[in-house]
Amino acid sequence: MVAPCLGAIAPAAEIFASPLERQVWRERLGSASAPGGCDAWVHAASLGEASAVPPFLRELEAVHPGSSYWLTATTRTGRAALAAAGRPVSLAPIDSPQATRRFLTGIAPRRVFLIETELWPHWLLRARATRLPVAVVSARLSERSVRRYRGLGGELRGLVGGLAAVLCQGEEDHRRWLAIGAPAERTRVVGNLKSDGLPEPAADRAAARAGVGLDPGRPLLVLGSLRPGEPRMLARAWLAQPDDVRLRWQVVAVPRHPQASRELRAEAAEAGVPIAPDAVPAGGWRWDDRTGVLVSWYRASELAFVGGSLAVFGGHNPLEPAACGAAVLMGPHHASQRDYVRALDAAGGSWWCPAATCCQPHWASCCRTMRAATSAPPRPSAWRGPSAVLPPARPRRSWRWACGRRERALAGAARGPLRPWVGVAARGVRERGAHRNCASRRAS
C-alpha cells in the first residue's frame, strides 16, 4: 500500500525538490512519449552503468539495424551520459504503480533490458501483467543485496523467476542470482559489458598531462571515485610519505559523487593535505569534482587508486585505469570487483592494500603500500585486453573462444521475443578484442 500512496502524492512533492530536480520531475513521474512505441527500453542506474550501454547498443544495432530504443537512468549524471548515445532518453520512472503505468504506456516498449542490478518491484509487476519480457544484462549482485532481496519474501522471488534472461558478470554473481530465484535455465555467465566499452591509453602520457594542465615531466597519482572516509585515510597515508616523494608526484583527487565533494574535501583538508581546485599545490592535491573527467585523469597517470575499497563499499571498476595504462592501487574491500581484481593481480602491475588489523589501521597499511608504489620504478599496466578479465571458465583459451562462449551463452539464455535480441552477435566485440590484444602485445 505504501508505493501507491507515494505515487499518488508524488506530483505534489515537486515543491520540495531542488531547482535542478524540478526541471525533470515530470520524467520521474513517468512522462514520456514514443509514437508507435520502441523496440527496447534500456535502463542504466547511474553514470557507471551508463558506460555499458554504448557497446550493448552497438551489438544490438549490428544484428537489428534501424531498431528504436528508449534509454533511461536513475540519476541526472547517468541521463546526461546516455544522451550522448543520440537516442531518446529520460529519467526512469519512480517505482510506483502510477508512474510505471504512465511510462510504459507512453513508450510502449516491446522488451526491456536492465543493466546490472535494477529490480524495481512495480516495474516487474507491470511487465508481468502486460507480458513484457525483461532481461538483466551484465548482471551483478552483492551478498548484501541477496540478504535484502530474500527479506522481501516469495513475491519478489516469483518476479525474479519470471525474468526472460539473467546474463551475469561472473560466477559469484551467477550463484547469487540463483539464490534469489533467477531461473537456472535462463541464467548464464557472459562477462561485464563495461569491459567492451573501456577507454584506450594515451599515445603520449606526458602530452596527456600537459593537456590537462599538469607538469608533463612529473608522474601523476590519481585518487579516483573517492567515498566517505577514504580521503582522510589517504591523506594520512600521503602525509606519511617522504618529502621527496610528495614533491615529485602530482596528485589529483576525484570524488565518486559530486554532491559529496564538500564533505570529502573537508576530510582531506582536516587531515592536513593542501587542496586546490585548479592546480596541484606543493606536496598537496588538486581536487576535481566535475563529472565525466576521471578517464582523462587516468589516461595521464602512472598510478591510480580506485575508491570504494578502503571502506566497505565493494570497490569500483579497476579496469578503467588499467585500460588507460596506469598501475592500480586498491584497498581490501573490493568484493564487487573480485573477478577483475584477481585477473589484474595475476597479470602484475597492481598494488593491494592489506586489510586493517587491531595493530594496523587502514591508513597505515595504505601508507606502506603507497610508499612501495610511489618509490618503485613504474610498473607497466596489467591490462592485456578483454580476454584477461572475462570470467575465466578456461583461462588458457583465447579471446576469440571467449567471445564465442559469450555469444552462445547470450543466445541460450534468452527465450520467446527476447531470443533474437539477447543473442547479441559477438562479431564486432571479437574484432575489437583481437585489435586490442594485438596493440597490447606491441606495447609490451
Return the pLDDT at 393: 36
CA distances from 253 to 223, 279, 333, 379, 433 (A): 5, 11, 19, 21, 31
Q: What is the pLDDT of residue 363?
A: 62
Handedness of CA 251, 255, 259, 263 (dihedral sign): negative
Q: Identify the CATH number of the domain defined by range 2-196.
A: 3.40.50.11720
Contact 265, 233 (CB under 8 A): no
pLDDT of 113-150, one tens digit each?
999 988 999 999 999 999 999 999 999 998 888 998 88
Phi, psi of 158 (to 5 degrees): -65, -35
Which residues are 255's β-sheet partners? 226
Q: Which residues contact 154 (CB under 8 A, 6 or more apart)?
A: none
> Is 143 part of the annotated catalytic residue set?
no
Give the CATH fold of the 205-375 domain. Answer: Rossmann fold (3.40.50)
**Considering only CA atoms, which of 131, 169, 29, 72 is closest in space to residue 415?**
131
Pairing of strands 303-306, 40-44: unpaired
Low-confidence ranges of the chain (pLDDT < 70): 1-12, 14, 16, 349, 355-365, 376-444
- Which entry of 49, 59, 118, 407 is annotated as an active-site residue? 49
Q: What nine digits make up the cell of 174?
A: 551467477
Degrees, nearest 5: CA angle 374-376-379: 95
* DSSP, res 37: -
Q: Which cell goes with 281?
A: 599545490
- Torsions phi, psi of 233, nearest 5? -65, -45
Reported as a single tens digit per residue, the pLDDT across 55-84 is 899 889 988 899 999 999 999 989 999 998
pLDDT tens digits, residue range 341-350?
Answer: 888 888 776 7
Q: Does this chain's domain 2-196 share its CATH topology with 205-375? A: yes
Listed by start position, the domains of the chain span 2-196, 205-375
